[in-house]
Structure 1
């Protein structure tokens, strides 16, 4: 499955990770059942899956507080993604 993954254009052109680097590999690790490794690869993976599920569920069920929950999860995801990007870009390297 890894041989069919799309390369990161940002990493190819500029040599550094983008905000989404690791998400495909993280999903592949989840499919393999390697849940902790998936989190290490891309920490926002589980909250993104939850957000996507909530968006789909809200589209069909129209939850009372659906939009508020989606907004909170979206902000949480943005914080996790930006924090991970900063950590990978400036702390590790």
Structure 2
């Protein structure tokens, strides 16, 4: 599994290559790699939006096949939390750098 952490398979960020600045999606590939290796803390610290995004993804699939009470509200809140986490972590990253 350590092969996953190498940069060889990861796609480069065009925004970072053109502007030299991270984009709101920078870090997600490395975060997924950490997650697949079982490094949950490192994965969260690399890209906090991955975890609510995973919840949203699996809830959408689950909701597709079953009837879930309040599914529209759950989808709305999961989407807002995911987007909010991505934007907040991006702003914190920009403030630190």
Q: Place the TM-score, normalised by the shorter chain, in its bin.
A: over 0.9
Write the deviation string for residues 68-90 of structure 1: whole angstroms up to 9, x where unpaired. 1011010011111111111111x
What does residue 57 of structure 1 align with? Answer: 62
CA RMSD of aligned residues (A): 1.0
Question: Is 1:92 equivalent to 2:96 in the alignment?
Answer: yes
Aligned ranges 1:3-82 → 2 under 5 Å: 3-82=8-87
Q: Give the TM-score of the pair, scaled to structure 2.
A: 0.89
Q: CA offset at residue 62 of structure 1?
A: 2.9
**Alignment: residue pair count:** 92
Q: CA offset at residue 30 of structure 1?
A: 0.5
Distance in 2, matches of 1:62 and 1:8, equals 39
Unmatched segments (≥5 aa) in structure 2: none
Unmatched segments (≥5 aa) in structure 1: none
Distance in 1, matches of 2:91 and 2:75, equals 24
